[in-house]
Amino acid sequence: MYPNSSSRVVETECWCLVGNVICLAFDQFASR
């Protein structure tokens, strides 16, 4: 394991969260 792996996991979680927010916003926009 690299010592940098924890920060990379946080980065991945942040991108996952961003993706979820975009999906939610798109879903709200599409359902209008």
pLDDT at 1 over 60: no
This prediction's pTM: 0.56
Q: What is the pLDDT of residue 7?
A: 80
pLDDT of residue 3: 65
Task: Give the three-class secondary structure for 23.
Answer: helix
Identity (one letter) of the amino acid at 19? Answer: G
pLDDT over 80 at 13, yes or no: yes
Residue 22, pLDDT score: 96
pLDDT at position 10: 83
